[in-house]
Structure 1
Amino acid sequence: MKKIKAAIIGAGFIGKAHLEAIRRLGYVEVVAIGQSSEKHAEEYAKSLHIPKAYGNYMDLLQDDEIEVVHNCTPNHLHYEINKQTLLHGKHLLSEKPLTLTSSEAKELYELALEKRLITGINFNYRQFPMVQQLKNMVNDSDLGEIRIIRGSYLQDWLLYDTDYNWRMEPQFGGETRALSDIGSHLFDLVQYVTDLRITEVLADLSIVHPIRYTSSKNGTSSETNDILKQVDIKTEDYCSVLVRFSNGARGVFTVSQVSAGKKNALEINLDGLTSSGTWKQEEPFKLQMGYRDKPSETILRDPALLKKKALPYLHYPSGHEEGWTDSLKNTMQHFYDAVFNNYETPADSVATLKDGYQAMLINDAIIRSVKSGTWEAVVSV
């Protein structure tokens, strides 16, 4: 079998996660790594057993052997690398956000349509088996009409005023931070599972630490003798958003990066006219179902119990739990299935550049709402 040849630009945490997930497929080979310098590229390539190293991504894109590019770089680099990848005729799987602005996202979305390449955004929470179960329960009207949608995404890695990261700097992370970093996952997941569109938002945000302190190494201060530098913070630590959906349903979402004890606490709650369903990323192997006239129940990840359309997302017997790394592997599987078979688009569980563009438009509406203090309409792609 001919192997698809891929390259990863950016070999930090998420780049390495992409690499591991790709290698589980068996029919895709990562042949090149791209980094910010030749030295770093060669170091990563050697440690990760990748044959080619590029210190300049434009040189990497000139490599005719490479068919697919994974953009795993910091946010501010996404637009130009994504654009050049498409212009060089290579399939693209990008980390979110697609770009830092909606105008750039629109340009990439239209360019991808023109080039007719396989593209995707890594909203990998769509790929969990129990998310697929919940989505299919909604499709089959098991919950009745969805009327209330609640969700949250809570973390604590920026709890202290001595916690600092490049994502806090608007020129690198964008005009919003918690919203674009984790809120985008929440908004995408809810719209995907319910097949409803967010149409209006009313938002409130807070910069819990208007001043933070970085060490002399421009990072989190962990040493008592660090020389601390004071930095003014312009992006939010917390945001809550009231939401209206295309079917008239209402919702509320909260994102925070300063909630102690919450590590990666993504949760969605769907309240239908028949029953309710809850999925938590930190307990991904189960759904909690609620009813008025009978006891609540827990549905576990068991191939013998789930809906048929959810089964392609399961790979192990019940009790052998599948988590975050498996969701990423599912992303790669469904993305590369389209590349290998020359499909026009991947399965709908792979978020498209259109979805990435829509996420930016939601972000824009939230920013407008914070400034105006009123409901703001979300432009639809």
Structure 2
Amino acid sequence: MPSPIRVGIIGLGRAEGEMVPGVWAARAHLPYLLASPHFTVTAVANSSVASAQASIDHHKLGPSVAAYGSPTDIASDPNVDLVLVSVRVEKHYALTKPALLAGKDIFVEWPLGATPSEAKELTALAASKGVKTSIGLQARASPLVKKLRSLIYDEKAIGEVLSTVVTATFSMMPTGLWFKGVEYYLDANSGGNPLTIFVGHFLDSFTHVLGPFQGEARENGFGAILETKFPDVKVMDTCTGQIVNEHFAKTAPDHVFLQGRVGAGTLASLSWRYIQKGEIEEEGLKWTITGTEGEIEILTGRKQWQGLKTVDVVVKIKKGDGEVEVLDLGSLDEEEGNLIGKLRNVAKNTGEAVGGFC
């Protein structure tokens, strides 16, 4: 076996809370990196050396792991082969660029940059340095998404795919209240909001299964409506429970409607909506794929798509004149091993993305 890839983590916090800095790296990435023989954590960088050292101590990573307070310093460490960036999206560019300039491979949580121009610049820089950029779109590595592809393309379970419809809510997101410190999620230009994160992760799986949208031309039927129906939001300090801003101006869309053709011409209609006081059916997301010989229906609970566990999902299949079958998702877990949900998905996504680094 080749030597383990030496990983430097930017943005490692504690695995406590939900909307707190560093929680994703702590809950999803670190457990896999520590368990895998293919990786070893050699450095951590946070906003200060003291913060990085506190994370190293909290997770008991040991005295051999270096603590840094800047992206340039961790990028310059000769004991780091791969820099993993797991922070809020608008910081991706500034934290990732030094690693690429230093000739290091990078793994960045989706998206690579807050804007297409940032992502293109970083991609071009990586190519000029002969290194790789890998993006954390972990849901495509889930056994559910792989099973859907198998049903459609290998088993031809529903014949030729004709159309697909997605109806979803941002049901786990509060409509009129948000949290101090993560106001960027309410900003349409932050790169990290309901459209780019909540919808974006699902769209990656959706197009991975059915193919990309066919361009932007109206003659191809592509259209999108993005609107903000709840622009006035209260901001609360979760530490004190006090409202610190009665009228924060939200610009991020809370209603997203997409329509067009995907793959070889499959008709597609997708919609997400915020709701004021609860939906009639608490299904979270319903995805129907219709073919010439049957139909597949995927129902999720109130969870973000990229962190789904199989217990959160129901998949139904109707083939021809047969009865409706409910897919045994437990067997998928058995096939994929003991890791579950977002940890398993992140592990497989990371392994598949950076396997070429070994």
TM-score by length of 2: 0.80
SS at match of 2:78: coil
Deviation of 1:110 (Å): 2.7
Q: Distance in 1 between matches of 2:24 and 2:249?
A: 28
SS at match of 2:178: coil
Deviation of 1:62 (Å): 0.4
The alignment's C-alpha RMSD in Å is 3.0
- Whether contact under 8 Å (1:75, 1:99) holds in the other structure is yes
Matched residue, 1:322: 340
Counting matched residue pairs gives 325
Using CA pairs below 8 Å that are at least 6 residues apart, which structure has the higher relative contact order? 1
Please tell me whether residue 150 in structure 1 is matched to residue 171 in structure 2: no
Matched residue, 2:123: 109
Matched residue, 1:231: 248
Matched residue, 2:184: 167
Q: Distance in 1 between matches of 2:75 and 2:283?
A: 34
Distance 1:48 1:142, change over 3 A: same
Please tell me whether residue 21 in structure 1 is matched to residue 38 in structure 2: no
- Whether contact under 8 Å (1:155, 1:263) holds in the other structure is no
Please tell me whether residue 3 in structure 1 is matched to residue 30 in structure 2: no
Deviation of 1:327 (Å): 1.1
Letter in 2 for 1:291: K
Could you give the per-residue CA deviations for residues 146-172 of structure 1, whole angstroms, max 9, x where no partner exists? 221223554334324222432335387
Letter in 2 for 1:48: H
- Whether contact under 8 Å (1:155, 1:257) holds in the other structure is yes
Q: Distance in 2 between matches of 1:25 and 1:264?
A: 35
Letter in 1 for 2:47: S
SS at match of 1:65: coil
Q: Distance in 2 between matches of 1:235 and 1:329?
A: 30
Q: Distance in 2 between matches of 1:177 and 1:264?
A: 22
Letter in 1 for 2:321: D
- Whether contact under 8 Å (2:71, 2:96) holds in the other structure is no
- Whether contact under 8 Å (2:169, 2:285) holds in the other structure is yes
- Whether contact under 8 Å (2:171, 2:284) holds in the other structure is no
Q: Distance in 2 between matches of 1:233 and 1:145?
A: 42
Deviation of 1:275 (Å): 2.1
Distance 1:226 1:301, change over 3 A: closer
Q: Distance in 1 between matches of 2:239 and 2:323?
A: 49
Q: Which runs of 5+ in 1 are unaligned?
A: 341-381
SS at match of 2:113: coil
Matched residue, 1:38: 49
Could you give the per-residue CA deviations for residues 60-89 of structure 1, whole angstroms, max 9, x where no partner exists? 100011001111011111123233222211
- Whether contact under 8 Å (2:229, 2:254) holds in the other structure is yes
Letter in 1 for 2:6: K
Query: Which residue of 282, 285, 310 maps to 1:284?
Result: 310
Identity of aligned residues (%): 21
TM-score by length of 1: 0.76
Please tell me whether residue 59 in structure 1 is matched to residue 73 in structure 2: yes
Please tell me whether residue 207 in structure 1 is matched to residue 224 in structure 2: no
Matched residue, 2:357: 339
Q: Distance in 2 between matches of 1:291 and 1:138?
A: 12
Letter in 1 for 2:50: K
SS at match of 2:7: strand
Matched residue, 1:95: 109
Matched residue, 2:86: 72
Q: Distance in 1 between matches of 2:282 and 2:79?
A: 40
Matched residue, 1:271: 290
